[in-house]
Amino acid sequence: MFRLFASLALAAAVALPGAAFAHSAIFDCFDNGDGTVSCQGGYSDGSSASGVSIKIKDAKGDVLRELKLDSNSEVSFPKPEGDYKVMFDGGEGHSIELDGKKIVQ
């Protein structure tokens, strides 16, 4: 029985490699109410986003600050004045950009 299950699992993994190993980026930010913003990222398969680049951009798209997620896949920074966006840059197909207007307490 185990051999049959193992064979079927292997066949499924080979036949559906994209579905078997796919994951999506997850990213969200919160206004802490004290002039700072905190963000947390990760992947839908539970893997860490530690070290992923986070870019804070102004309304024109210019990078104001570039940070990296820490060992807990988190980062905090002073809230920029005016309109801004926060971008999670996890590589091709794994980027998320949040509008600062939608980052709330």
- The H or E element containing residue 29 is strand 25-31
Domain ranges in the chain? 20-102
**Among 2.60.40.1930, 3.40.640.10, 3.40.630.10, 3.40.50.720, what is the CATH number of 20-102?**
2.60.40.1930
Question: 3-class DSSP state for residue 95?
Answer: strand
The percent of residues in the chain predicted with pLDDT above 70, rounded, is 79
According to DSSP, residue 35 is labeled S
Over residues 37-87, the pLDDT tens digits come to 999 999 999 999 999 999 999 999 999 999 999 999 999 999 999 999 999
